[in-house]
Structure formats: C-alpha cells, structure tokens
Amino acid sequence: MENKKENKFISFWKRIFKRADEIMFPANIKCLGCGVDLPEKREIEFCDVCKKKIEYISEDKCCSLCGTSLKQKNICPHCQNNKREFDEARSVCKYNDFMASLIAKFKYHNHPYMSLTFGHMISQKFKELKYDVDLIVPVPITKKRMKQRGFNQAELIAKVFAKNVNLPLCCEIIEKQTETSHQADLDYEERQKNILGTFKVVNKKEVAGKNVLVIDDVFTTGATTSACAEVLKKAKAKHVYVLSVASTSYFDQKKPSKKVVKVSDFAS
C-alpha cells in the first residue's frame, strides 16, 4: 500500500516536470525568424527565406585567432594589438541585424527553447573545426543576473551542444562574481580592466591538463572570453578554445582599440 502511494507521488511529480519542460522547450514547428509554419520539425528552426539571412563565417575568410569575419584569412588588427588568452576562437556567423534580433529575443524576452537551434548551429561548426576538447564550459553569469533572467543563455546552448557532440559539460567550473556593467561603451582595454577579477575558477582540479572549450552566445571584442581563458590557463588548462554563435565584425564595433593601425586590408 505504502509503495503504491509512493509510486503515485513520483508519477505526479514526473508529470509536473514534463509539463514544465514542455513549456520551457515547446516542440517548435515554426520558423524562429519569421514565425511561418515549417513543413517538418528541424534541428535548426529556420524557413528557407530566413536561412539566407544567416551570414556564415568561413574558415578561409576570418581572423585565424579570434575568428572575426575578414576578406581573407589573416590576423585582425584587434588580435595584432591585444593579447588574447585563448588559443583560438570561432563563431558560426556574423552578428548581423537578423542574428541580433534573434539573440535579443532569446536572452531578454524569455525564449529559452531557442537554445536548441543555437546549440545545433555550433555543433555543426565544431564538427568542421575538429578541436581536441576534453571539457565544455559555458561563460558564466552572476547569481544576480541568473535570478533576473532565470537562465544562463550560454549554459543552455552549451547543454544542447555537449549532448550533440557527446562531450562532458561542466557549468560549475568558473564563477562570475561581480557584474560588469556598460561593457558596450568601453574599448577593449577598458573592457579588459573592467572584467579583470570578475571570473574565478572554483574547481581547479577539473581543469588541470585539460583542453577546454568555452561557449558563449555572442563574441564582441573577445574581452569576456579572453578573461575566462586567462583564469582557466592560471588553473593549468592546457588549451582554451572559444566557440560562439555569432561574432560582431571587428569594424562594426563602436569603439575598437585605440591602438589600431592599418585597417585597409581587413574590412569585411
């Protein structure tokens, strides 16, 4: 009798959790870009028209260090003038108006299910890159931000990705302890200074001797991921790679580094 009661109790809660999951991640058969019905369920949920709005960054037309889009393979002025702590960073596509509106909807208007599409997008890119990775780590957000938003966008994307590529995911390795506000108004050096000390590796044992892949939604100046890489390297990570969904073009950034030299060869 007691057992029967217990089973009923468990199945009740299982139903509740399943329902909560369905609300968070509905079986979407609409295009994430324009809302048109899709003929079938797709991993990357875009119609044929919206698919064309994604500007993929190819390996032969990007900065070989930070992955920003360039006319041809080169080292972008940003990487020439600033120390990058990661070994290599890549992004799936350009952060154009289409991607900016999608990511804003995902992050600020509470659409966590969009992480499925973004996770599949970075999985495709990862298969092209063939990085030797031991561990996946999403860029953390502060506890305060987590409370406000309800989820960490990088963590949701990383979860889908880790499952796809069958690699271990560790969300409790780096902590972001303080908020870095108004990053968008700062140049790279100011961002670096602002972000310095906000990240802390709380589980050093997990990282030592490993190749770590850091996941983020948007790569802008790279100051955030470079700071993550810095603390990971201090914790003895062997290599640190970065993979993001979208990357702002070096030339789209409001206030690039003051040290910039020649840019004529690089505009994309």
Applying CB under 5 A, the residues found at the interface with Zn ion are 31, 33-34, 47, 50, 63, 65-66, 76, 79
Residue among 114 and 201 whose Cβ is closer to Zn ion: 114
Shortest reach from residue 45's CB to Zn ion, in Å? 9
Shortest reach from residue 60's CB to Zn ion, in Å? 15
Shortest reach from residue 47's CB to Zn ion, in Å? 3
Residue among 152 and 248 whose Cβ is closer to Zn ion: 248
Shortest reach from residue 184's CB to Zn ion, in Å? 19
Shortest reach from residue 34's CB to Zn ion, in Å? 3
Residue among 213 and 235 whose Cβ is closer to Zn ion: 213
Query: Degrees (nearest 5) of the Cα angle 22, 25, 26?
Result: 65
Residue among 82 and 180 whose Cβ is closer to Zn ion: 82
DSSP of the chain: -HHHHHHHHHHHHHHHHHHHHHHHS----B-TTT-PBPSS--SS---HHHHTT--BPPGGGBBTTT--B-SSSB--HHHHHS---SSEEEEEEE--HHHHHHHHHHHHTT-GGGHHHHHHHHHHHHHHH----SEEEEPP--HHHHHHHSS-HHHHHHHHHHHHHT--B-TTSEEE-S----GGGS-HHHHHHHHTTTEEES-HHHHTT-EEEEEEEEESSSHHHHHHHHHHHHTT-SEEEEEEEEE--GGG-SS--TT----TTT--
Shortest reach from residue 72's CB to Zn ion, in Å? 13
Q: Is 61 within 8 Å of 73 (Cβ atoms)? A: yes
Shortest reach from residue 66's CB to Zn ion, in Å? 3
Residue among 47 and 158 whose Cβ is closer to Zn ion: 47
Q: CA separation (Å) from 143 to 24, 149, 171?
A: 20, 10, 13
Q: Is 191 within 8 Å of 158 (Cβ atoms)? A: no
Residue among 126 and 266 whose Cβ is closer to Zn ion: 266
Residue among 57 and 195 whose Cβ is closer to Zn ion: 57
